[in-house]
Chain A
Amino acid sequence: MSKPSDLVQGTLDLLILKMLALEPLNGWAIGQRLKQVSADVLQVSDGSLYPALHKLEQEGWVTAEWRSSENNRRAKFYALTRAGRKQLQLEATNWNRLARAITAVVRLQEV
């Protein structure tokens, strides 16, 4: 079992929301897309997506629908809601602010 770094786990919500902002996906597909886009850097443990997804659903930021997928099997597809879009903006802003701050510290000249 590959353990994702704590940082990735903490930003899982942000990652999922962004993925769903592009298009509605099921859990399996989200995991695949993340691996693709990040060139395998972001190793999200497959199973840990689901608690996160369901939590987002409970909060009302994503909505779910059963559709038949590519191989004619039923799968649960998640899509972003309006509230979810707002939450994505919020989290993205927070992330950027955090990243800038960390970068500023790292860039400090060592004596």
Chain B
Amino acid sequence: MSPDIRIERLLRVIPLRIRSLFRSADVERELDEELRYHVDQQTAANVAAGMAADAARTAALRAFGGIELRKEQVRDTRGTRWLEDGLGDVRFALRSLGRARGFAVAVVLTLGLGIGANTAMFTLLRGTMLKALPNRHGDRLVYLRLSATGEHQTNTLFSVPEVADFRSSSKTLEEIAEYSDVMPFTLVGSDTHMVRADVAVISGNFFRVMGLDAVVGRLTDAHDDGAAASPVAVLSSHYWMDHFGGDPAVLGQVVKLNGMATRIVGVVEPAPQYPNPVDVYVNTVTSPHHLGATMNTLRTHRMTEVFARLAPGATVDQARTEVSSIAARMIRDHPDAYQKASHYAVTMSTLRDAENARARLTFWLLMGAAVFVLLIACANVSNLTLMRGLGREREMLVRTALGARAARLRRLLLMENLVLALSGGALGVLIAFAGLKLLILFAAQFSPRSGEIHVDAVVLAVGLATSVAAAVVLSYVPRIGGDGGLASSLAPTSRRTTLGAGRRRLQRSLVAVQVAACMVLLTGAGLLVRTLSNLHAVSTGVRVDHVLTMSLPLGGDLLKEVMNLPANLARYERMRTVVAALPGVTSVALGSGEPLRTSMMAFDIKAEHQPTRPDAPTPRAGLVTVDPGYLEAIGVPRLAGRDFATTDQRGTTRVVILSKSFARQLFGTENPIGRRIAPTGEVLKVTPFTGDWRTVVGVVGDTHNDGLDGDVSPMMYEPFAQEVIISAALVVRTQSDPDQMKAAVLRTLRSNFPSQLIEQVATVAEIRDESVATRRLNAMFIASFGALALLIAAVGIAGVLAFSVRSRTAEIGIRMSLGADAVRVRRMVLGEGAGVLAAGLAVGAAGALFTSRLLSGFLFGITPHDPGTLAGVAALIGGIGVAACWLPAARAAQVDPATALRAE
């Protein structure tokens, strides 16, 4: 065909198509007019041939083949068919959903909650665990750990000579970086206000090894190592934002870290911080202790953590093997530094695994719970759709008879379900968005990567995909063709056979599945909640009410300040006096740390005249210094001997009080009072503490400083005035609510001692709650999922049963007219419901027993197979299930047989 003919053709066709799209009403009218014209003409011809008027018209119509049919066929020829159909389907879907508003709302809500929970959990997983690390070649980064058995020794950190061993011998590790964040630091900025900052001392190559770049300025490098370098600082991104307002002018500013003038040279990009959050990174010269001889030569002085990058071509397993052999050789060559009974070992993990370790189990567990909820939601929606689809079967049959093809009808249903599912999906995504902040707060408890959580395109795509999948599945649930055909369906007796036996079984099994899933979820939640209450019941060993504490650290350069003992002691004692004068304060005491917090110092202890067993690890205890009255103020019971007195001063006999379990560890059943103990070990060479003999003068009760689910902490207490002061804390016993005293105490201290840092002001109750905070969050989340599931399932059971009653109205009417009374009928309906419940509970119990085993790491004081919890949950679900059945059963009993039978 020549081009101009083609063009002419296009010019004719395109306006036609546009017209049929936008002027569809006109087009339809014209079609109608055209076809009617034909029929009228044929009718006239028939009349002219001698037929009667009516017969002529009928014959014409029959010959034509049905006006509507022909119209459909004409419409089929249009190229824009699918689009018109699509829009028409959407309009149709909206109309028919508008007529069944309750159904639509129920489905959208149910799907929304299910999809929302899953989108939220998927967002969590994606941000923290599924994405690669933001560090350059992050999968080549590893973290080394030295551990031993004993108090505070799951990660002992490394010493400089140990790191040197690895650096010199390792071929699989290309470069090793050092990191140390154990030194307390104070920061004084341009506003001359002293604040505490989390500071990490790093080797110059730290940022290169970690694969991080600068946001402004520069990062440290090899030139910043060594004693000849000048002190520099690199800010972390969040600290720069929070404290310097994200101002690039921060470069070149000088701040005082522990009294040393340090220049800020750059800001590092945002990245997950492991193992602890860090505000400022500094080079070694900024911390004089890190340059000292003991730090660099003493193998047992362990303050350094090790990050490394794999050499090109080396695998993680190769590196792990090599690290183990280097460690073995190291331990063999220096037996004094590695006590045999403590079983020192070096382990290596990829940085990603290390960062995810805490989060992994929890997050996958919660993802599982969310999937359960989605399952339940889908089962519910399937049931709802089944019930609604049933009501429309007649409509579908009629449409089929009028000429609609099965595929077309299914497309109609698909559109309707798509509208529902996409609305549900949109609601779900909105819910996930809304809960994002809460989610990030929750995740921060478990993972250093919580900052990377945000709803991104992938998450939205997953939400969309879930919705569409749900819609497609739901479209195939109702039957289109119908068995028996139109005739039987329209027959007056049809109502009794509307729900086939197969379908009823499907409905019932869906409900049973919901009940089972609820059981599994709620059993998990129940176990976690009981763990919480078990933990709360654990006695901490200290008085929890009416005690306020706060930390009062030494400011400035710690090493210098420690030498200033008399001045510091006098100052702290003045603080105690000032606070004691406040109204509402019963007593005040000083100590080196707050109650229930792990003590900063822990020592190996030797006891006089007590043989040490070579195969037992050296007894180790945490050291806390306290003034007379401290132990009484915090409610630690005295079990033997005496408390400290004001006579226990510097220069007098050194005394010590032991906790009960530690006394037993040292002396067994012998009386410890009057015996002598002393700290021992290489570490004494680098601390201001001495190995002098101390006499035991008392024994007090145990405390749980390591969290309520841990063992009691072995403790030794020394007089505050007698021992070196490296930190201090105030303990205030109040008459009334300690929370209200916070402001008054702070005001007094700040006005009298303006340069004193005051931190971590908390009541002992709050400190205790901290240790269970993560578990509480966990339990709350899973319990919420469980409650959600229960709600959805209850609605599901009630709905299915109500529907069953409605569709069996005639049957019930017959039964009643044959003699069944209201009680019998109610029992029949309840029995039906109870049967489904029982089946669901049985399956659920089995499932719960199976999956609860996954929770064993989270439990305390309760086994995963706890029968009490199982029984309680079963009773709860059963009770709610029966309640849900009550209304339909009552309705059934109220059926009036006469009207029921007549309603055909």
Q: Are A83 and B37 in contact (CB under 8 A)?
A: no
A27 to B67, CA, bound (A): 14
Q: In the complex where A46-B64, A51-B76 touch, is A86 in contact with B41 (Cβ < 8 A)? A: no
Residue A41 at the B interface, CB < 8 A? no
Within 8 A of A (CB), among B1-60: 1, 5-6, 8-10, 12-13, 16-17, 30, 33-35, 37-38, 40-42
Given contacts A46-B38, A83-B5, contact A54 B12 (CB under 8 A): no
**In the complex, A58 Cα to B19 Cα: how many Å?**
12
Known A-B contacts A50-B70, A54-B74, A58-B13; the reply to A27 vs B65 at CB < 8 A is no
Bound Cα distance from A46 to B65, whole angstroms? 8
Instruction: Determine if A50 and B41 form an interchain contact, defined as CB atoms under 8 angstroms apart.
Output: no
| CB-nearest residue of chain B to A2 | B63
Do A1 and B35 touch (CB < 8 A)? no
> Are A47 and B16 closer than 8 Å at their CB atoms?
no
A45 touching B65, Cβ below 8 Å = yes
A44 vs B63: C-alpha distance when bound (angstroms):
10
Closest residue of chain B to A59 (Cβ to Cβ) is B13
Q: Which residue from A46, A50, A59 sits with its C-beta under 8 Å from B73?
A: A50
- Chain A residues near B65 (CB-CB < 8 A): 1, 45-48
Q: Which of A51, A58, A75 contacts B70 (CB 8 A)?
A: A51
Q: Is A82 an interface residue (CB 8 A)?
A: yes
A58 to B37, CA, bound (A): 21
Q: Which of B12, B38, B62, B73 contacts A51 (CB 8 A)?
A: B73
The reply to whether the CB of B69 lies closer than 8 angstroms to some CB of chain A is yes
Least CB distance, A72 to chain B, in whole angstroms: 12
Q: How far is the CB of B884 from chain A (nearest CB, A)?
A: 54
Q: Which of B228-267 contact A (CB under 8 A)?
A: none
A9 at the interface (CB under 8 A from B): no
B62 in contact with A76 (CB, 8 Å): no
Kindly state whether residue A57 has any CB partner on chain B within 8 Å.
Answer: yes
Give the docked Cα–Cα distance between A48 and B74 (Å): 9
Q: Is the CB of A47 within 8 A of B37?
A: no
B66 at the binding interface (Cβ < 8 Å): yes
Kindly identify which residue among A46, A60, A73 contacts B42, using a CB–CB cutoff of 8 Å: A46
Closest to B7 in A: A83
What are the residues of chain A within 8 A of B496 when measuring CB–CB? none
Residues of A within 8 A of B35 (CB): 47, 50
Residues of B with C-beta under 8 A to A50: 34-35, 38, 70, 73-74
Q: A48-B65, A60-B9 are in contact. Are A28 and B37 (CB under 8 A)?
A: yes
Interface size for B (C-beta < 8 A) is 33
Q: How large is the interface on A (under 10, 10 to 19, 20 to 34, 35 or more residues)?
A: 20 to 34
Q: Are A54 and B9 in contact, CB atoms less than 8 angstroms apart? A: no
Nearest chain B CB to A27's CB is how many angstroms away? 6
Q: Is the CB of A83 within 8 A of B8?
A: yes
A1 to B30, CA, bound (A): 25
Q: Are A46 and B63 in contact (CB under 8 A)?
A: yes
Mask of A59-73 contacts with B, CB within 8 angstroms, 1/0: 111010010010001
Point out the residues of chain A lying under 8 angstroms from B277, CB to CB. none
Complex Cα distance, B428 from A92, in Å, reads 61
Residue of B nearest to A62 (CB): B12
Provide the bound-state CA to CA distance between A59 and B77, in Å. Answer: 10
Q: Report which of B1, B42, B63 forms a contact with A1, defined as CB distance below 8 A.
A: B63
Contact, CB under 8 Å: A58 / B64? no
Once the chains are docked, how many angstroms separate the CA of A81 from the CA of B73? 23
Give the distance to chain A from B6, nearest Cβ to Cβ, in Å. 8
Give Cα A105 to B38, complex, Å. Answer: 41
Contacts of B91 on A, CB cut-off 8 Å?
Answer: none
A60 to B17, CA, bound (A): 11
Residues of A within 8 A of B41 (CB): 28
Q: Is A55 touching B77 in the complex (CB atoms < 8 A)? A: yes
- Residue-wise interface mask of B (76-98) relative to A, using a CB-CB cutoff of 8 A (1 in contact, 0 not): 11110000000000000000000
Verify A47–B9 contact, CB threshold 8 A: no
Cα A50 to Cα B33 in complex, Å, equals 12
Residue of B nearest to A45 (CB): B65
- Complex Cα–Cα for A11 and B67 (A): 23
Q: Which of A19-67 contact B (CB under 8 A)?
A: 26-28, 31, 45-48, 50-51, 54-55, 57-61, 63, 66
Known: A51-B74, A81-B8, A81-B12. 16 other contacts (CB 8 A): A27-B37, A31-B38, A45-B65, A47-B67, A48-B73, A50-B35, A54-B74, A55-B77, A57-B16, A58-B16, A58-B17, A58-B78, A59-B9, A60-B13, A61-B9, A86-B5
Q: List 24 A-B contacts (CB under 8 A).
A: A26-B34, A27-B38, A28-B41, A45-B63, A46-B64, A47-B67, A47-B70, A48-B73, A50-B34, A50-B38, A50-B70, A51-B70, A54-B77, A57-B16, A60-B8, A60-B9, A60-B12, A60-B13, A61-B9, A75-B37, A76-B30, A81-B12, A82-B8, A83-B1
